[in-house]
Amino acid sequence: MNIRNIYRVFLFQGLWLFYYSPLPPAQNVLCDATTLEDFFNCYGGQSAFSTHSVAAVTTFIEADNALQAGNYAQAKTMLDNLFNTYPRGSNIWWNVFNDPNGANLGTPHAYYGLRMMEDIIDHGLNGVPNVPAKKAKMKIVLVGCSEGIQPTTEAELQNGTGPFVTHEMDPALKENDYRIVRQSFDLFSRYVTAITKGALAVELEFVELDALCLPVAVTTTLPHLAYSGIQPVWDAMTEEAKDSTDWWWILYPSHVPEFPTFDDEAFITGGMGADYKGGPVFIIDDKWVVRKPAHLGNGLYSDIERRIYLPQWLQHEFFHHLYRIYPELALEVNGHDWFDINFWASDFEGQFESDYYSETLHKRLQVNCTPLATKLITRVQDDLAAQYSTFSMDELTGPYSLDVIQNPWHEGNIIEENGEYFWKNNANVQWKVTPDFVEGRLETGNDCPYPGEDFFIELYRTVEGDYVPGAISLKFNTESYKKRSKLIRETAPIEIVLGDFERVPNLNLQHTGNILKTAGQFNWQNDAGDDWSLSPNTTDECFSLGIDSPTPGEKFQLVLVETECDIHALGFKYLGHYYWKPKRTASNGAPILVNGIADLELIENFGTHTINLADVFEDPEGDSLLLFVTSEDPAFISADITSQQLLLSGGAIGTTSIYVMALDANGGLAVDEFKVQVNPVSSTNEPASKINVYPRLTQDFIHVDGATADYNITLFSVDKSYQQSIPVSGTNMSIDLGQLPAGMYLLALANSNTGKIKVLKIIKY
């Protein structure tokens, strides 16, 4: 069977619309069943349904009951048993598409919800506990009435005629604290929390617009619509209400002509829209949650049917929205592309619509670097006004484009002409834009070909969900035009470096401060009261200091780290010293100094001295570490790190401090400070003192740096039961302790020329 013969889909007035082809007329069944037994009795008993259908419906209801009680393992067993008999994605599910006696059990029966439950179960059994959940604030709007011409016959339907009628909201939607609306949304709400790995919970608020009467109409051509638009709803809402809402579900009184002559007609009454911020807007008539439309069944919904079917409708519309806000993934290009199996990616399995949702969720959306929970919060954040106040128009100039470019209108530039700013697209059409940074938008005027549509500045957001006051795109007409210049490595604005810094070593108030941005200007302000202007350079990844600084033209060279999904500025280097930001996530442990480097005494003109840093630091989470070094006096002793080897170079007589720093990608910092003293050549020098032995706590190897042929090295246990002479094999040598039992050992370093001996403790684990 070709799935495209079952589904009919349309894009109309910005809405994705969806319905099934008409089914044969069925008897009128009014069933208020709340249990499986009552449900089957309403529709002719279990014998009226196939064994497969009974198993699917029974598993759905019983597993959902178990989930609501928190019995995830029990629910998993139920689903495993069902899918072992009727494998997910197999042709056998085509046998449960048509519903007997006017019931509506979804298509295939209960299949969408069962697949949603898989994610709910997995999250319940394997999810990280106590994840802080953000709230997606959803307003469910109940419109008081609708009015318009409604046909009563086929002739009137074709001619667009009929009586003018007014419909009132079905009171069933408001009864018992909106029971049937909540019931319709319940499974889907739990599914949203599961697929965001517990990071998002949908918070419902009901809004009754009893005084609003929505104009509606029935179209004369296929697909028949019993709908007009929801602009009056937006007009009735306050700006504060619209700004503070992420999701919407708008229900209005049905205008579907319900006369026997239309029993085999399907009327589209809504779908998936978007608000001005790009947030999802579910739209449907009130009867959609009360009764089965003629093309889906007959009679009022029982609780059993509503629990099974409404999550299916919500999931369908929701994935339209997900594919829209991840255009770079090209999961829906021309609308409902998944109905053509040839569109499916080669690594996708299954064949049904809900299979496609599951495959795209797990193999594309959840592994995307912009988390679902972050994408699904669209309300105007109260703290963003301060972020927008840092902008200037000059930083917004340059090229922008959609991720999927289909025509020259999808690419353009913000340009400046005679002190005014314009959007000019690649079709050579331009219109004026005026900044309103208080609202975070660029307002358009009468010359805009899209009346009333403004550009909204979209701020960069870290994987942790924190906003950065740097533009990453401009949203226009619900689509994001990505910024294509003035970004670090084409992904992040230079504003990721903003914040507090502390130098290593921190010796005075000039060594702590912060980088700020005000009205497009960057400044360094230290705690000593200095204020220096900075000019950003994203190409060289640095800031150049202005003439108001003591070192004009010098650079703050950024230290950046790229993770799988983000780029972070850990700090910057200025005049040979590093200035570090605090770590971003407090719960991620910082690196630890485990084997500090002992102070060194070297002989003048020593040339180069090498120290292995492999065992100096550890990270409690096992994170990879970045190593940096600073010499307090680089003209005296220069210090560099190559492949975990610290190279000290110099030769003049004197003393300085060396700072070796280890950082993880989170910005956690550990510092090892040691002194290097360079002595003149003299017979009174202590030869053994220039030998460096590390680590003292070891598993298998210890390293000896600086030994010469003049030395005799002996390793022995403290009880003298073990003793071994170690031949000197070079100035950088290793001693293998792997075959020795754990315990304390002594390492004796004896100079045959001077007779001096140094004895060190070594602990073998």
Is pLDDT larger for residue 719 or for residue 519?
519
- Given this model, what pLDDT does residue 144 score? 97
Residues 128 and 45 in one domain: yes
Q: Which of 561, 544, 563 is closest to 552 using CA atoms?
A: 544
pLDDT for residue 720 is more than 80: no
Residues 192 and 121 in one domain: yes
Residues 708 and 643 in one domain: no
Confidence of residue 525 (pLDDT cuts 50, 70, 90): very high
Confidence of residue 757 (pLDDT cuts 50, 70, 90): confident
Residues 696 and 663 in one domain: no
pLDDT for residue 459 is more than 80: yes
Q: Could you give the 3-state DSSP secondary structure of residue 294?
A: coil
CATH number, domain with residue 462: 2.40.128.600
pLDDT for residue 4 is more than 50: no
Q: In the predicted model, what is the mean pLDDT of residues 113-118?
A: 98
Residues 648 and 702 in one domain: no
Does residue 134 form part of some domain? yes
Does residue 491 form part of some domain? no
pLDDT one-digit tens code per residue, 402-431: 988 999 999 999 999 999 999 999 999 999
Q: Could you give the 3-state DSSP secondary structure of residue 455?
A: strand
| 145 burial level (CB within 10 Å; 0-12, 13-18, 19+) | middle
Residues 459 and 542 in one domain: no
Residues 243 and 345 in one domain: yes
Q: In the predicted model, what is the mean pLDDT of residues 485-514?
A: 96
pLDDT for residue 19 is more than 70: no
Q: Which domain holds residue 289?
A: 3-373
Q: Are strands 697-698 and 757-764 parallel, antiparallel or unpaired?
A: parallel
Least confident of 188-192, 365-369, 660-664: 365-369
Does residue 488 form part of some domain? no
Q: In the predicted model, what is the mean pLDDT of residues 213-225?
A: 93
Q: In the predicted model, what is the mean pLDDT of residues 438-463?
A: 91
Residues 116 and 240 in one domain: yes
Least confident of 272-281, 601-610, 756-765: 756-765
pTM over 0.85: no
pLDDT for residue 387 is more than 50: yes
Contacts of 628 (CB under 8 A, 6+ apart): 559, 578, 641, 660, 661, 662, 663
Residues 331 and 359 in one domain: yes
- Given this model, what pLDDT does residue 424 score? 97
Is pLDDT larger for residue 63 or for residue 5?
63
| 705 within 8 A of 602, measured Cβ to Cβ | no
- Residue 456, CB half-sphere, CA atoms under 13 Å: how many? 20
pLDDT for residue 489 is more than 80: yes
Q: Could you give the 3-state DSSP secondary structure of residue 459?
A: strand
With a pLDDT cut of 90, the percent of the chain lying above it is: 70
How far is it, in rounded angstroms, from Cα 190 to Cα 67?
Answer: 10
Does residue 661 form part of some domain? yes
Q: Which among 557, 580, 603 is the end of a domain?
A: 580
Confidence of residue 711 (pLDDT cuts 50, 70, 90): confident
pLDDT for residue 756 is more than 90: no
Q: In the predicted model, what is the mean pLDDT of residues 308-313?
A: 96
Q: How far is CA 187 from the centre of its chain?
A: 23
How far is it, in rounded angstroms, from Cα 617 to Cα 659?
Answer: 13
Q: How far is CA 674 from the centre of its chain?
A: 42
| 730 within 8 A of 722, measured Cβ to Cβ | no
Residues 186 and 226 in one domain: yes
Does residue 489 form part of some domain? no
Confidence of residue 177 (pLDDT cuts 50, 70, 90): very high
Confidence of residue 505 (pLDDT cuts 50, 70, 90): very high
- Given this model, what pLDDT does residue 14 score? 44
Q: Which among 580, 608, 638 is the end of a domain?
A: 580
How far is it, in rounded angstroms, from Cα 394 to Cα 104?
Answer: 58
Does residue 493 form part of some domain? no
- Residue 47, CB half-sphere, CA atoms under 13 Å: how many? 1
| 165 within 8 A of 148, measured Cβ to Cβ | yes
pLDDT one-digit tens code per residue, 52-103: 999 999 999 999 999 999 999 999 999 999 999 999 999 999 999 887 888 9
| Number of Cβ within a 10 Å radius of residue 41 | 13
Confidence of residue 7 (pLDDT cuts 50, 70, 90): very low
Structural domains counted in the chain:
5
| Number of Cβ within a 10 Å radius of residue 154 | 12
pLDDT for residue 22 is more than 80: no
What is the per-residue DSSP string for 332-359?
A: SSSSSGGGSGGGS-TT---SSHHHHHHH
| 31 within 8 A of 43, measured Cβ to Cβ | yes
| Number of Cβ within a 10 Å radius of residue 352 | 20
Does residue 492 form part of some domain? no
- Given this model, what pLDDT does residue 29 score? 59
- Mean pLDDT across the chain: 90
Residues 614 and 570 in one domain: no
Does residue 177 form part of some domain? yes
Least confident of 135-139, 369-373, 675-679: 369-373
How far is it, in rounded angstroms, from Cα 180 to Cα 680?
Answer: 90
Q: Which among 549, 580, 611 is the end of a domain?
A: 580
- Given this model, what pLDDT does residue 184 score? 97
- Given this model, what pLDDT does residue 527 score? 97
Q: Could you give the 3-state DSSP secondary structure of residue 424?
A: strand
Contacts of 406 (CB under 8 A, 6+ apart): none
- Given this model, what pLDDT does residue 402 score? 93
Residues 681 and 698 in one domain: no
With a pLDDT cut of 70, the percent of the chain lying above it is: 94
Is pLDDT larger for residue 479 or for residue 525?
525
Site of tokens 């500025």: 569
Q: Could you give the 3-state DSSP secondary structure of residue 386?
A: helix
Q: How far is CA 491 from the centre of its chain?
A: 15
How far is it, in rounded angstroms, from Cα 578 to Cα 592?
Answer: 19
Residues facing residue 694 across a β-bridge? 703
Q: In the predicted model, what is the mean pLDDT of residues 658-674?
A: 97
How far is it, in rounded angstroms, from Cα 5 to Cα 10?
Answer: 14
